[in-house]
A and B are shown apart, each in its own frame.
Chain A
Amino acid sequence: MRDVAIIGVKNTKFGEMWERSFRDIVVEAGIGAIEDSGVSGDRLDGMYVGNMSGGQFVEQEHIGALIADYSGLSLDLHIPSTRVEAACASGGLAFRQAVMAVASGHEDIVMAAGVEKMTDVSSTAASSALAAAADREWEGIMGATFPGLYAMIARMHMDKYGTTSEQMASVAVKNHKNGSMNPIAQYKSPITVDSVLNSIMVADPLHIFDCSPITDGAAAVVLAPADIAHEYTDTPIYIKATAQASDTIALHDRRDITTLDASVSAGKRAFEMAKMTPADIDLVEVHDCFTIAEICAIEDLGFAKKGEGGKMTEDGETAIGGKVAVNTSGGLKSCGHPVGATGIKQVVEVTQQLRGEAGGRQVDGAEVGMTHNVGGSGATAVVHILARER
């Protein structure tokens, strides 16, 4: 297998983009990443597009072909383009497919993109589309919502480990602070623990400020074999590990409802592949679709002892400048969560950090970063480790 490097990245603005279409935003991200990489677009050998629910959000399927066409890569070139779906982990999985295509030697210059346009439908319809990532026949039929499923994780975490609503709120407070320094973020205003606790209850114990928003957005990266990456950029970022794991589709079938075993498994495989431990990681973008999800993520990936993720957050150890910087982008919570784009956005954020281009939210001397993207209530987890040094 060949070493693989990131040579170009681009996030669009994240937020409500009423005036722009699905294809507009993903083409903006794609062209941006191509420009950033310095390759000519017609050198692309393949394209992988993460998208969760184009069919439900914009009534458009056949996303791979659509994006290749509107990127100007179909006429004459006929570049192969593949849509990848794993619910909210679609972007992370598209990136993984692209990495494997380059690593295998089958393709050289490859784009991984992610996109979701969620505000063209009502918020009820959007919630219903998202609920399709859980078990429709045995969770959805009982009135389960995504906040409801994560609320049941949170309730058990509180019961078992004494995690508090204040600790969960401190995840949101930190991520809004980080997001306030990110120009692409959907929400740039800082919040307080009190404003989280006083916001309306969505699914007890989760308040609306414990939940990530409905977002439009796209992100793209360009990959190349590490051996030729320096022909295009002075700051290639190397992929040290790619890992993916599955678990039960329904939350009720999990071994331990407070642990996402897919995250544990993907994390372990990634650390083995990179020959690293959590102590080597300077920053990590984790899947904080809800505040409790970030607490579980840092525990499941080995940054916190099981049950101590809430306390670690409250103590400031996951802030920029802390033991490990978690969600410097603002995470899904403040930066926004266009579901199919999130996994790619995480890779873009870590790349910008490792290049030293993260502005006010820069982690000093960042050498190694990680991304962690979850689908559903934990049925898929995709983890990557990126580094400045090959």
Chain B
Amino acid sequence: MIRESRGLGDELKKSVLLTPAVLVLILFFLIPIFLTVYYSFTNLALNGEGARNVQFIGLENYSRMMTDPNMINSIVTTLIFLVGSLIGQQILGFFIALMMKGKNSRFRSIIGPFFLAGWIMPEVVVALCSFAFFDRSGTLNAILQSINIPMVEWLYKYPLLSVIIANVWHGMAFSMINFQSALDNVPGDIEEAARVDGANYWQRLFYIIIPQIKNTIATNTMLNTLSTLGVFGLIYTMTGGGPGVATQVLPIFMYKQAFVSFQLGYGTAISMVLLVLGLIFSILYARIVED
């Protein structure tokens, strides 16, 4: 009997303490997600008929997407942006971490912050810095002109490359930190043994070090993938998705459909594709880690 009442007290306490969290979750997470899914099946718009009279239109948004060259272009652009960013962030992050491995802590504490700078800055500041770097009268052109190379309009001639470089700069430090901690955990004796057996540096790197940290590589890739898929502010500030549709990744395409062309229904449908894309990659990486 005493046990029972104490149990009830516990339950009561738990319920009281949990209720706010559950409510917040329902209000700000479940309902919006449910609404997003619902809206993607409607003709919801910011003005015109779709604003006054929202109607369920079934799969129309999705079937339109299949034949929309802008959608295909956006998916391709997103994938290029993703792969470019991943390669840049991972490889640079890995090699910086590798180079800093075993160096003394003073060296690490001086060099580390330089790379961290790009990461700790808010996205929009990174975007403005990158804009100032690539702009026609920006740093890069100033350097080029000082060595008599003619100015290039980077943001208009190589827009996708420019935003990828900016994103790599922004995200590289995160990879570096992950790899640093993983590399620190690679036991020195295995490497030592390999060295004694006559393995050269590259062999040790590819056969000893990388296999040891492959889980970190997978996790890091997954986190970078998800954050890169959602990049909006950086690209929007630098190029606005342009010129034309050259840097129109899915989040920008979604924004433009929803808030420039005012087709909120179609915009939410695009966001569902983004969600699915993120899911696919997550499952893929989770599988790799398991194996």
The yes or no verdict on A and B being binding partners is no
Interface residues of B (CB under 8 A from A): none
Chain A residues proximal to chain B, CB less than 8 Å: none
